[in-house]
Amino acid sequence: MKNYIICLVLLLLFCGCTPYLYKATNKSYRKQVKNFSKLLSEYPLKDSAGLPYAANWVGTTNFSIRRPNFVVIHHTAQNSCDQTLKTFTLPRTQVSAHYVICRDGIVYHMLHDNLRAHHAGLGKWGNVSDMNSSSIGIEIDNNGSEPFSDVQMNSLIQLLDRLKKAYNIPQANFIGHMDWAPGRKVDPSRYFSWKQHADKGFGYWYDTTSVKVPADFNPIQALRIIGYNINNLSIAIQSYKIHWVPQDTTKVINEMDKKILVDLMKKYQ
Ligand SMILES: [Zn+2]
């Protein structure tokens, strides 16, 4: 009973401290959101594209707010959630994510899903060239060279499930930062189990049991069809391996990879 009370007090202290710690940055968040809502509620609408159409303003009655259509998963490459929360609340870093999942499974929500976080940066996936505009960014507290904790993965799956349902995000559109930015990014690391997530409907996994590789099969085009930017082939292969063959640290496509790619290509095209 005594331990229970101590835990409760510590919990209350912690919950009480967090908003205090971020009082100033929360205020800045509210101010920025207010500016955006002011812009959206402008009436009559001036002109979004900077063209002189204001005189022709007729508001449609049929619209909704834009929705995210991708989820990009990251590891923070930092040593604690506190460190990451700090990084994402310092204006000079210019980086952020919608969610941060701590090692103990606690999820911090840092930005409304309908707003644009600065998490993906430069990259390309399929024909998408501005991932920040169309995605939710999730950062997993992990230094990049350690396994992900079970409670953390449970929280992630719960969150992915909610996002998938809320925004009708296609199964193929759950990707890693390294898929989006080969070479520049390697997160989430090889410790991240994409198979476990694909089994639950987030991204696809392969089944090579009855795959026959056609004589004219082109693995490079298969990588492109899946979504990879193949301008620099060896780094595209590196990202593919981190995602689908994490035990293989080479940047070479072998016979097994060809089978995997034949199967994945069908799922992602
Ligand atoms: Zn990242």
Judged by average pLDDT, the poorest of 35-44, 87-96, 214-223, 232-241 is 35-44
CA of 52 to the centre of ligand 1 (A): 40
Residue with tokens 């992630």: 156
Mean of pLDDT values over 219-244 = 98
For residue 110, give the nearest of 136, 143, 79 by alpha carbon. 136
CA of 4 to the centre of ligand 1 (A): 38
How does DSSP classify residue 148? P
Mean of pLDDT values over 66-71 = 97
CA of 34 to the centre of ligand 1 (A): 28
CA of 29 to the centre of ligand 1 (A): 22
- For residue 20, name the pLDDT band (cuts at 50, 70, 90): confident
CA–CA distance, 249 with 256 (Å, rounded to integer): 14
CA of 251 to the centre of ligand 1 (A): 21
pLDDT of residue 7: 56
Whether 16 shows a pLDDT value over 80: the answer reads no
Is-catalytic flag, 139? yes
pLDDT of residue 11: 54
Average per-residue pLDDT for the chain: 93
- For residue 54, name the pLDDT band (cuts at 50, 70, 90): confident
Whether 12 shows a pLDDT value over 70: the answer reads no
Mean of pLDDT values over 87-100 = 97
pLDDT of residue 114: 96
CA–CA distance, 142 with 150 (Å, rounded to integer): 13
pLDDT digit string, tens, across residues 142-182? 999 999 999 999 999 999 999 999 999 999 999 999 999 99
- For residues 54 and 138, which has the higher predicted lDDT (pLDDT)? 138
Judged by average pLDDT, the poorest of 9-23, 161-175, 220-234 is 9-23
Judged by average pLDDT, the poorest of 34-48, 217-231, 252-266 is 34-48
Burial bucket for residue 245 (CB in 10 Å: 0-12, 13-18, 19+):
middle
Whether 50 shows a pLDDT value over 60: the answer reads yes
Mean of pLDDT values over 6-27 = 68
CA–CA distance, 93 with 25 (Å, rounded to integer): 13
For residue 120, give the nearest of 181, 202, 164, 203 by alpha carbon. 181
Whether 5 shows a pLDDT value over 80: the answer reads no
Could you tell me what percentage of the chain is helix, strand and coil, using 3-state DSSP and rounding each to the nearest 5?
45, 10, 45
pLDDT of residue 76: 97
